[in-house]
Structure 1
Amino acid sequence: MPDVSQPLSRFRRFVTTDMDEARSEVSRIYCDHRLISTAGSAHLHAWQNAVRLGPVTLSAMSYGAEIEIDPGALKDFYLVMLPYAGSADVRHGREQVVADATQATVLTPDAGTRMRWSADCAKLMVRIEREALERQMSAMLGGGSASRIDFSLAMPLTDGAAHWWRMVRLAMDGLDRLAEAPGPVAASLQGSLLMATLIEQQPNSLTARLARGESPAAPRHVRLVEDYIEENAGKPLTVEDLVAVGGVSSRALFEGFRRFRDTSPLAHLRAVRLRRVREDLLRADAQDTVTLVATRWGFFQLGRFAALYRETFGETPSETLRRR
């Protein structure tokens, strides 16, 4: 067994050398999954410590052997993981990251996942209930829809991400000094703080909306149209479609966007589509091209598209594609 510290030692869940027991116990906190020891189960020495803070569960664990894990899609929760010893190769959807003490990973509920942990890998892990995180995001958007939040998989420990993990470690250190978990009010507040800070610091599919400083004062018809655009950006939407969704006149809709979002409905649609192009380029398969992805999101004047893309993101679409 690797000689590593074991955070949250006051909240021990299990220690085992049995593969089936390890899989069963880990499934209780996360989800059912396939677990394979590449060196054989005789080398396994697994342990896990965990404590729940409202919608957030903090844990630390190791398998003590090289392990392959296939949980598929998480469905009901987000999972943020940081190896504090060893490393892990993480494949999530179309993305792949090697995580270690300098780079964490953020798993979202809807993409399939496969991982390989090194024999000396030990991780800090933060499980966040999907419904709670989406409620938190909705509140931060002023009541706007937040039915799907896709985070970037890689979480390099610089600036905001490093600050978030310092918060996690401080919470764990504090809990280690307690004989039992904090009460429900304190736990809920601490969990909310971790969720809000993660949303602010880790790039995600709604970061642009947060950056605009959306206000609860925005009228309902503006928020309705924004939500509709988020859900239907790949469709050939027209002004008439957006006016019908908003339930107000064309003039009132454009005035609402100008006053509360400093843009127009069609410019907002274009910005959402540009963001979706960027997300697809960063996750592109080998056969994908800039043209294929751009036209998928309704950009057919490719020269104009490339100029808008560079103006928005500070690089060309081809440069983004090369970084996938």
Structure 2
Amino acid sequence: MVLPSSGTVNARIRNRTVAIDREAALALSVPDVSSISYSGRGKHGHITLEFEPAAVQKTLSAIFEGATLRSSELIPRLDLASPAGGMLRALGEAIGAGMHDARLRSEKSMALLGEAVLRLVFLNFPHGLSNRAQPHLTDATSRQIMKAVDFMRANMHQPLTLSEVADATGIGVRSLQYGFRRFRNTTPLAYLREIRLEAVQAELASPLNLLPIKDVALKWGFTHMGHFAARYRAAYGETPSETARLGRAEAKADRSK
């Protein structure tokens, strides 16, 4: 997938020329592309997102039972003027920032963002399965949601995706989302973010912690320090630096005893 930030992108896909500017994204399968070029008045810029076929197939199957990549066949030009398009652009920019800045790169966040892009595209943009009804949703039980919670807590240091949590729980992704809404009054991703914030808070408050705040945040999957700090303060009523300062003070007091 290519998202231009300036200039234009021209691609030859199955003997058809597709041209896009920053108002659209280009979705393509590499074997179908015979040529691609970039142009602009003195400059051009773009973000390119690459997805492994297995990851795309897994996400697609979670939405449309028995679907294949060939049957999905996305329309190459994805309009970014819609609300879903605006979200796609924001996700692409977040992934692009993580790819180009090692300080922001987090395997956890990249995996979650990648799955979010795929789900957003398949649920909101035209493709070969757009008119196909989604499979019947099986209601998740409270026991299954608790199993999902236990799995997330045991593996929150891993780059978890919704599909992996759903597979471990034995239900579909949509059922997982509805179950969290019903029994936890939140979404799976919001809950995962919450328990990762708890992990950050515990580590920063520990007298044994020697890592800088940014390193602790990245360790638990937070790549945007501004958003992280705002969420942390909203959750705990203090800044991460205040928590870390209290932890260091406790460590100093322990050493002076």
Query: What TM-score comes out, normalization by structure 2 length?
Result: 0.46
Query: What TM-score comes out, normalization by structure 1 length?
Result: 0.37
Whichever structure has more strand as a proportion of its residues is 1
Whichever structure has more helix as a proportion of its residues is 2
